[in-house]
Chain A
Amino acid sequence: MKTVYWLQGGGCGGDTYSLLSSDFMDVSELFTTLDLKLLWHPSLCSIDPAAHERLLTDIASGTTPLDILMVEGSIIFGPAGTGMFDTFRGRAKKELCHTLASHARYVVAVGTCAAFGGFGAGHAIEATGLQFTKKKKGGALGREFVSGSGMPVINLAGCPCHHDVIAGALMAVASDVPLELDRFQRPLEWYNTMVHQGCTRNEYHEYRVEESDFGEMGCLFFHMGCAGPLVPGPCNKLLWNRHSSKPRAGVPCFGCTSPDFPKSNPFFHTPNIEGIPLELPKGVNRAHYMVYKGMAAEAAPERLKKRSAKV
């Protein structure tokens, strides 16, 4: 049996609620099948305050082994590095995070706030991720941190992280299956394809049939601020709640798996020069891309121009 402690820092709880939608398997089955003992989760445990205190002492002294530390939400350092904007029984929660992480075999950052700082990074609350602050390595635990297993923090990016990714990562670490990570420590298993791949608007993108208002069927990249071709992530490949994804429902991808999410430029709008987005799909050559897109728009099939292909 392996133990799990779920720490909630500065976040919205969205990753917990995402996890509750896990389908293969559902949360309760997942924990029984993997033989995981959930020592603590703020919403899914019911031990009394005194017992929780004892548990923390036992983890800190090594009496209770901690196999997996899951952290949701950012680590808050404000004001002025004190951490007093987020306290647990009068003490800064960042210290609790440090203690738990130094005893864990695996440390998993669930969601973009825990991975990269998310909404509070660069703002008054001085939020950081566990091992990154936005793109900069370091974070709450430091550049060199490795957990008991020798792995650095595993970053399950996303706002929230996709339910199947959280469940999948739990399966992997519970069975000591090594996860290969990218330079932002996101497992390649789920973060080596673009959100773009699998989007039902892809054919519109190919022929540059663009959408410039809501409720249409074209591609959302050129005007509506979609980051699908710019960021890696499993949305569209793994559907959400078994059914859909934001771009499928006409909502642009906001690039929430990226370390610099949320960017400061307005959502729902693509910064561009003369209709060509400033940021081009990952890895393309600007000159080639412009020629290719010009030709593609010319060559677009009628059914797409008429937007008769359903998305």
Chain B
Amino acid sequence: MSSETKKIDIPFNRVEGDLEVKVDVTDDTITDAWSCGTMYRGFEAMMTGRGPLDGLVITPRICGICSLTHLNAAAVALDRIAQVTLPDNAIRLRNVALMAETIQSDLRQAVLMYMADFTNHKAYQKHPLFKEAVARYQMLSGSSVVEVIRKTKRLIEIIAIIGGQWPHTSFMVPGGVTSIPYVPKLMQSRLIFNRFLEWYEKKVLGCTIARWQAVTTRKELAQWFEERPEHRDSEVGFFIRFAEKAGLDTYGRGNDHFLCFGNFPLPKDTAVTPRVPGTDQLTTPGFFRETEYLALDAASIKEDITCSWFEQKPVVSHPFDSVTRPYASGNMGKPYSWVKAPRYDGLPAETGPLAEAVMDRVPLFLDLIRNTGATALVRQLARITRPARLLPDMGTWIDELLAHHADPFYTPVKTIPDGQGAGMIQAARGALGHWVTIENSKISNYQVITPTAWNGSPRDGQNQPGPWESALKGTPVKDPDNPVEAGHVIRSFDPCMVCAVHIVKNEK
């Protein structure tokens, strides 16, 4: 039997900026994939030679939906260089704001970007839940869309209370934060939080967070499903029902290496406990390979530019030593993307909410992966239920801020000394790192590796595909003009091409 291989180019909407994926399709199945970031924004031109604090203002502009996360990474890198110890309140305030940003991102991604594809008429008009999907997820008018816009907008008010505005504030500075929120404002934050929590439990989960946390296996998930109509009608319930019938539990498996930088440092005096005992942050840093958990080793992170449109010297380097000069464009030779290929210990690695769940040993996700592998469904389920893991601790920290209100929020840092520091944290989309070098009181090198660079990486010198390039292989494509299945796979990684577009040095 001879089967013909078709080559199709898929542009992706609903991601920040620009992404095009080229795939080979044989017998209605993707047999190979190349992920191409089509935009280059050349940020570092303006970082080099600037004042040491300037990353706090410039890097949030890398990405509008996780601007605070970039701010946090930039601030952590400077905290390290200044070797300053933060007051507990500053840690709490930073964590609360970052959690609010992460949670809005998870819900907007799930409902406005992911489930929106369920209204794709050409692909799903025969799906038994199509009508309901349209009623919920029709752009700008679906019931869930309208609700998510309203509720996430309210949640973000907490960031405005803490930091002045969202997006693009710069309230995190080395040593802590720029302001002390007044007690009534903190109480308002608590009330905004309470309302959001109530809505999340009722509409997104369909049960209390405690009930959801009790679901620890695939079998228990099936029981939870049958238990009450509210569970089936919730966003989580509907997502599972629709996705299973559409087959999202059968494809989209990445390379099964998971990377996490860890996040939310714990204040010295706090009731919040780490997910894995013994670490000093809430979510766990580390690398997962096959069955092995490895401690995070920052020296194992390298960038490979064999297939990226950058000058090829050096081809592989640690971010502190990376040089990034744009070189060539269009279609030529091996390179095919403006995104570099980050590697951990030489391996491509998936990062994001599912990687966090694996690293935090969340039993349900370990069981799901054991059974079906890390499919598009599992990855997306990890995202929409992550707020259930963050909200309780977020509430605790708001309460602690109220209780410890009279304590300091800032440790003065007079000047930033020369030196090197890395700010490695978890963004909504996964591991984010800023590597900063200050020389003669100026930034001499600033390198960022974003989560999307990990997930949407092109091939490297060993010809290893990036995680979503791997995940696309084996994905069915019923209609090459409307490759919605490929969209499900890539969107389960929550791509954000704007931030993947590499920060580079100006070529002068």
Interface on A for B, CB 8 Å cutoff?
8, 10-18, 20-21, 23, 26-28, 31-32, 38, 40, 42-50, 52, 76, 78-79, 82, 84-90, 118-120, 123-125, 159-160, 213-215, 235, 239-251, 254, 262, 264-269, 310
6 shortest A-B CB distances, which residue pairs?
A266-B51, A14-B64, A249-B164, A250-B178, A240-B165, A250-B179
Residue of B nearest to A248 (CB): B164
B131 within 8 A of A: no
Interface residues of B in 117-151 (CB under 8 A from A): 117, 119-120, 122, 139-141, 145-146, 149-150
What is the CB-to-nearest-CB distance from B377 to chain A, in angstroms, rounded to a whole number?
19
What is the CB-to-nearest-CB distance from B489 to chain A, in angstroms, rounded to a whole number?
16
B20 within 8 A of A: yes
Instruction: Determine whether the beta carbon of B38 is less than 8 Å from that of A45.
Output: no
Report chain B residues within 8 Å CB of A213: 412
Instruction: Determine whether the beta carbon of A215 is less than 8 Å from that of B177.
Output: yes
Tell whether A46 pairs with B180 under 8 Å between CB atoms, given A12-B64, A27-B140, A28-B146: no
B264 within 8 A of A: no
CA separation between A125 and B498, bound complex, in Å? Answer: 14
A-B contact pairs, 23 of them (CB 8 A): A12-B16, A12-B63, A12-B64, A13-B498, A14-B168, A31-B140, A40-B13, A49-B11, A79-B326, A85-B42, A86-B18, A86-B38, A88-B11, A90-B330, A119-B41, A119-B46, A215-B178, A241-B160, A243-B161, A244-B160, A249-B162, A249-B165, A266-B54
Q: How many A-B residue pairs have CB under 8 A?
A: 252
B4 within 8 A of A: no
Tell whether A215 pairs with B506 under 8 Å between CB atoms, given A14-B168, A249-B179: no
Report chain A residues within 8 Å CB of B139: 38, 44-46
Instruction: Determine whether the beta carbon of A42 is less than 8 Å from that of B15.
Output: yes
Instruction: Determine whether the beta carbon of B58 is less than 8 Å from that of A262.
Output: yes
Instruction: Determine whether the beta carbon of B149 is less than 8 Å from that of A84.
Output: no
CA separation between A47 and B180, bound complex, in Å? Answer: 45
Instruction: Determine whether the beta carbon of A89 is less than 8 Å from that of B61.
Output: no
What is the CB-to-nearest-CB distance from A143 to chain B, in angstroms, rounded to a whole number?
26
- Other A-B pairs, 6, CB within 8 Å; known A11-B498, A123-B45, A264-B50: A10-B41, A27-B140, A84-B330, A241-B157, A246-B169, A249-B165
Instruction: Determine whether the beta carbon of B16 is less than 8 Å from that of A13.
Output: yes
CA separation between A157 and B338, bound complex, in Å? Answer: 28
Report chain B residues within 8 Å CB of A244: 160-161, 163-165
What is the CB-to-nearest-CB distance from B499 to chain A, in angstroms, rounded to a whole number?
8
Interface residues of B in 10-32 (CB under 8 A from A): 10-11, 13-18, 20
B428 within 8 A of A: no
Report chain A residues within 8 Å CB of B150: 26
Picked from A15, A240, A266, the residue with its CB within 8 Å of the CB of B50 is A266
B292 within 8 A of A: no
Residue of B nearest to A121 (CB): B46
B409 within 8 A of A: yes
Residue of A nearest to B410 (CB): A215
B285 within 8 A of A: no
What is the CB-to-nearest-CB distance from A62 to chain B, in angstroms, rounded to a whole number?
24
Residue of B nearest to A242 (CB): B157
What is the CB-to-nearest-CB distance from B470 to chain A, in angstroms, rounded to a whole number?
23
What is the CB-to-nearest-CB distance from B340 to chain A, in angstroms, rounded to a whole number?
15
Q: Which of B161, B167, B409, B498 has the most CB of A within 10 A?
A: B167
CA separation between A26 and B62, bound complex, in Å? Answer: 25
B227 within 8 A of A: no
Report chain A residues within 8 Å CB of B20: 89
Report chain B residues within 8 Å CB of A239: 160
CA separation between A265 and B53, bound complex, in Å? Answer: 11
What is the CB-to-nearest-CB distance from B182 to chain A, in angstroms, rounded to a whole number?
7
What is the CB-to-nearest-CB distance from B181 to chain A, in angstroms, rounded to a whole number?
8
Residue of B nearest to A30 (CB): B140
B435 within 8 A of A: no
CA separation between A16 and B149, bound complex, in Å? Answer: 12
Instruction: Determine whether the beta carbon of A251 is less than 8 Å from that of B163.
Output: yes
Picked from B38, B46, B157, B163, the residue with its CB within 8 Å of the CB of A262 is B46
Report chain A residues within 8 Å CB of B57: 254, 262, 267-268
Instruction: Determine whether the beta carbon of A245 is less than 8 Å from that of B50.
Output: no
What is the CB-to-nearest-CB distance from B35 to chain A, in angstroms, rounded to a whole number?
15
CA separation between A32 and B142, bound complex, in Å? Answer: 12
Report chain A residues within 8 Å CB of B50: 264, 266
Q: Which of A246, A254, A264 has the most CB of B within 10 A?
A: A246
CA separation between A89 and B331, bound complex, in Å? Answer: 12
Report chain A residues within 8 Å CB of B409: 215
Picked from B9, B43, B113, B483, the residue with its CB within 8 Å of the CB of A43 is B113
Report chain B residues within 8 Å CB of A31: 140
Residue of A nearest to B148 (CB): A20
What is the CB-to-nearest-CB distance from B426 to chain A, in angstroms, rounded to a whole number?
19
Residue of A nearest to B15 (CB): A42
Tell whether A87 pairs with B39 under 8 Å between CB atoms, given A18-B167, A20-B149, A215-B179: yes
Instruction: Determine whether the beta carbon of B178 is less than 8 Å from that of A249.
Output: yes
Instruction: Determine whether the beta carbon of A125 is less than 8 Å from that of B40.
Output: yes
CA separation between A297 and B216, bound complex, in Å? Answer: 65
Instruction: Determine whether the beta carbon of A85 is less than 8 Å from that of B39.
Output: yes
What is the CB-to-nearest-CB distance from A264 to chain B, in angstroms, rounded to a whole number?
7
Q: Which of A12, A15, A50 has the most CB of B within 10 A?
A: A12
B65 within 8 A of A: yes
Instruction: Determine whether the beta carbon of B120 is less than 8 Å from that of A86.
Output: no
Q: Which of A47, A49, A248, A249 has the most CB of B within 10 A?
A: A249
B170 within 8 A of A: yes
What is the CB-to-nearest-CB distance from A75 to chain B, in angstroms, rounded to a whole number?
12
Picked from B18, B53, B65, the residue with its CB within 8 Å of the CB of A267 is B53
B397 within 8 A of A: no
Report chain A residues within 8 Å CB of B46: 119, 123, 262, 264
Instruction: Determine whether the beta carbon of B156 is less than 8 Å from that of A42.
Output: no
B449 within 8 A of A: no
CA separation between A247 and B163, bound complex, in Å? Answer: 9
Instruction: Determine whether the beta carbon of A45 is less than 8 Å from that of B329.
Output: no
Picked from A49, A86, A89, the residue with its CB within 8 Å of the CB of B40 is A86
Report chain A residues within 8 Å CB of B153: 20-21, 23, 26, 241
CA separation between A82 and B329, bound complex, in Å? Answer: 10
Instruction: Determine whether the beta carbon of A214 is less than 8 Å from that of B175.
Output: yes
Interface residues of B in 292-308 (CB under 8 A from A): none
Instruction: Determine whether the beta carbon of A28 is less than 8 Å from that of B141.
Output: yes
B440 within 8 A of A: no
Report chain A residues within 8 Å CB of B119: 46
CA separation between A52 and B13, bound complex, in Å? Answer: 10
Picked from B62, B116, B176, the residue with its CB within 8 Å of the CB of A215 is B176
Instruction: Determine whether the beta carbon of B504 is less than 8 Å from that of A124.
Output: yes
Instruction: Determine whether the beta carbon of B164 is less than 8 Å from that of A245.
Output: yes
Report chain B residues within 8 Å CB of A52: 11, 13
Write out, one digit per residue, whether chain B residues 388-426 have a CB within 8 A of any chain A CB (1) or not (0): 000000000000000000000110100000000000000
CA separation between A15 and B16, bound complex, in Å? Answer: 12
